[in-house]
Amino acid sequence: MGSLEQEIKELALELGFVSVGITTTEPLSWLEPIVEARVQAGLLSGLPWFDLERVRKSCRPRESWPQARSVVSLAVAYGQGGASLEIPALGLRGQISRYAGGDDYHQVVKHHARPLLQLIREHEAEPRAQLTSDSGRLLDRGFAHGAGVGWYGQNCSIIVPGRGSFVFLAEIVTSLHLEPDAPTPSDCGRCDACLRSCPTGALSEPYVVDSRRCISFLTIELRGSIPLELRPLMGTRIFGCDACQAYCPHNRKSRAALWPELRPSSDAALLPSLPDLLRLREDGFLERFAESPVLRARRQGLLRNAAVALGNLGDRAAVPVLREVLDDPDPVVRSHAAWALGQLGGASARMALETAARTEPEPEVAREIVLAFQR
């Protein structure tokens, strides 16, 4: 039998992970000041929980796991197989990011990693190994880079050699002293396709993302209203954005997810009907997206995004459902429906806005209605 490191890697690949590497729990001394500077510059201001204290801890595993000595970094594919461009939305439909087509990856990864976690714990003096995935306790990409799982793309995604960047990352933190792997050298060369593809200019320069302009942030994490100047740039994206990955040459050969739970159940899972979404009440929203990452946007966020998408489509067939949404109990949803009607224009849209203006109790929504009249 080979070394424990080899056994870990072989089992990880057998379980369906597409890349695995090992690094130490030494602090990410090269990355910590970079991320701190981004926080201080306001580039992550949309994520108030990710403050300087969180940066420090997520770069130093032993702050959370004093006995930790090694990190096993894992990548699992979620791509739909081969397509290099975003999936176009047809009719009154919106686009959902590829990663959200299946079940919530946090639970899926946890389930599939159990045998690997068990193997590592069997070799620990005290079974303390823990799995973490996109929880903020570790800078996943920093440790994936250090473990040789992939290199940093200019869009800040980790690109796995031969697999691309349509991957989820996870780590197992262990007290075992494991032989670390070397980082993978970058293979981006002079390519800047990801930077040029960003619809909002959130990728202002290589390796820098301004979360305040990132469509993934705007459609998933942002609570409340989307800035007016960014709404037209969102197109029909209602949950996440794949633009900077879809145009990356390394994703041209991306393969479909190995785990069925991560595959979309149908085309409708990634291209849902916008009118159907806008008619969802809270219980319907919770039922439809119970096992989906889309739940994170909450009903307010998803319906807000759907209204913006209809405004950007420019199809006046959307006026009737937007008129209905002007009576939605959520003022944020109503305000974005008003914006969308202003974008569509026409007599029916104007009549709907005039009717709403007479009874709207919320000042912010009333302001959006006034602005909609001015378009």
Per-residue pLDDT at 104 exceeds 50: yes
Structure tokens, 97: 């990011």
Q: What is the pLDDT of residue 253?
A: 77
* Whole-number Å distance between alpha carbons of 123 and 126: 8
* pLDDT reported for residue 137: 87
What's the average model confidence in pLDDT over 17-26? 98
**pLDDT at residue 83, as a whole number:** 47
Calculate the average pLDDT of the chain: 94
**Does 20 score more than 60 pLDDT?**
yes
100-122: average pLDDT? 95
Instruction: Flag whether pLDDT at 49 surpasses 90.
Output: no
Instruction: State percent of the chain over pLDDT 90.
Output: 86
For 220-236, write each residue's pLDDT tens digit.
999 999 999 999 999 99
- CA quadruple 43, 48, 53, 55: dihedral sign: negative
CA distance 102 to 105: 8
Whole-number pLDDT of residue 252: 86
Question: In 3D, which of 172, 181, 173, 180 has the Cα closest to residue 66?
Answer: 173
Distances (CA, A) of 164 to 98, 115, 225, 249, 297: 14, 26, 33, 8, 26
CB 177 within 8 A of CB 235: no
Is the pLDDT at 84 greater than 90? The verdict is no
Give the per-residue pLDDT at 134: 83
Active site residue ranges: 134
Structure token pair of residue 313? 């489509």
3-state secondary structure the chain: CCCHHHHHHHHHHHHCCCEEEEEECCCCCCCHHHHHHHHHCCCCCCCCCCCHHHHHHHHCHHHHCCCCCEEEEEEEECCECCCCCCCCCCCCECEECHHHCCCCHHHHHHHHCHHHHHHHHHHCCCCCCEEECCCCCCCHHHHHHHCCCCEECCCCCEEECCCECCEEEEEEEECCCCCCCCCCCCCCCCCCHHHHHCCCCCCCECCECCCCCCHHHHHHHCCCCCCHHHHHHHCCEEECCCHHHHCCHHHCCCCECCCHHHCCCCHHHHCCEHHHHHCCCHHHHHHHCCCCHHHHHHHHHHHHHHHHHHHHHCCHHHHHHHHHHCCCCCHHHHHHHHHHHHHHCCHHHHHHHHHHHHHCCCHHHHHHHHHHHCC
256 forms bridges with which residues in the sheet?
A: 80
Q: Is the pLDDT confidence value at 1 over 50?
A: no
Binning pLDDT at 50, 70 and 90, where does residue 45 land?
Answer: confident
Q: In the prediction, which pLDDT does 181 show?
A: 98
Under the banding of pLDDT at 50, 70 and 90, the label for residue 255 is confident
Length of the chain: 375
Q: Degrees (nearest 5) of the Cα angle 61, 205, 20? A: 35
Q: 282-313 pLDDT, tens per residue? A: 999 999 999 999 999 999 999 999 999 999 99
Tokens of 183: 């980082």
pLDDT band with cut points at 50, 70 and 90 for residue 39: very high
| Confidence bin at 79 (pLDDT 50/70/90) | confident
User: How would you label 33-55 residue by residue, b for 16+ Cβ within 10 Å and e otherwise?
Assistant: eebeebbeeebbebeeebeeebb
pLDDT of residue 89: 56
pLDDT above 70 as % of the chain: 97
Distance, in Å, from the CA atom of 335 to the CA atom of 7, rounded to the nearest integer, reads: 56
pLDDT for 271 equals 93
Domains belonging to the chain, first-starting first, are: 4-88+103-174 (3.40.109), 192-253+264-373 (1.25.10)
- At 354-364, the pLDDT tens digits run 999 999 999 99
Amino acid identity, residue 198?
C
Confidence bin at 80 (pLDDT 50/70/90)? low
pLDDT (0 to 100) of residue 211: 94
CA 132 distance to own-chain centroid: 17
| Burial letters 134-154, b for 16+ CB under 10 A, else e | eeebbbbbbbbbbbbbbbbbb
What confidence category does residue 146 fall into, taking pLDDT thresholds of 50, 70 and 90? very high
pLDDT at 47: 83
Give the pLDDT mean for 316-345.
Answer: 98
